[in-house]
């Protein structure tokens, strides 16, 4: 089960990254191009958020099966950089990114003007993308290519 979850979690990141990049590009084009906020914009932003939530849920399940996570031995984990990263830092960064995505989506829904909706998505999804890419790079695993 661990191997399946790891491969699923690893593969799903490409979908999350793709959807976030597409949503960000669309939001920037809408914001700076003074375009209307369409149903397509809303759906893409929603699918990006849903994929990120599924990724988090998969990661949380994986958290309890992973040999790289020592949540029950925090003193040991905090002394080892790799264990600390997988036990604390990766989880914290990804939850922070998911909060940014969720807040951005919620604020965009509440905004009255199209430009405000696009701007909100661009800022929050963009910040989340930066956090996610930083977390992936910090893991020492490639963003694109093999690895988990």
Residue 146 placed within a domain: no
Neighbours of 60 (CB within 10 A): 12
Q: How far apart are CA 62 and CA 56, in angstroms?
A: 10
Q: What angle do CA 132, 33, 51 make, to 5 degrees?
A: 30
Residue 94 placed within a domain: yes
State the pTM of this model. 0.88
Q: How far apart are CA 40 and CA 21, in angstroms?
A: 15
Residue 60 placed within a domain: yes
Residue 46 placed within a domain: yes
Residue 102 placed within a domain: yes
Q: Which domain holds residue 101?
A: 2-138
Residue 143 placed within a domain: no
| Each residue's pLDDT expressed in tens, for the chain with a length of 148 residues | 889 999 999 999 999 999 999 999 999 999 999 999 999 999 999 999 999 999 999 999 998 888 878 777 787 878 888 888 888 899 999 999 999 999 999 999 999 999 999 999 999 999 999 999 999 888 876 555 554 4
Residue 41 placed within a domain: yes
Residue 11 placed within a domain: yes
Number of domains comprising the chain: 1
């Amino acid at each position: 089960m661990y191997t399946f979850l790891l491969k699923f979690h690893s593969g799903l990141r490409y979908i999350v990254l793709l959807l976030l990049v597409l949503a960000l590009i669309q939001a920037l084009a809408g914001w700076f191009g003074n375009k209307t906020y369409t149903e397509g914009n809303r759906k893409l932003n929603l699918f990006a958020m849903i994929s990120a939530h599924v990724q988090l849920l998969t990661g949380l399940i994986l958290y309890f099966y992973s040999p790289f996570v020592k949540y029950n031995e925090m003193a040991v984990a905090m002394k080892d950089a790799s264990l600390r990263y997988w036990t604390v830092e990766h989880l914290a960064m990804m939850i922070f990114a998911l909060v940014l995505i969720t807040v951005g989506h919620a604020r965009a829904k509440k905004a009255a003007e199209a430009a405000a909706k696009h701007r909100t998505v661009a800022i929050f999804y963009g910040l989340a993308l930066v956090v996610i890419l930083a977390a992936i790079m910090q893991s020492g695993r490639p963003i694109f290519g093999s690895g988990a």
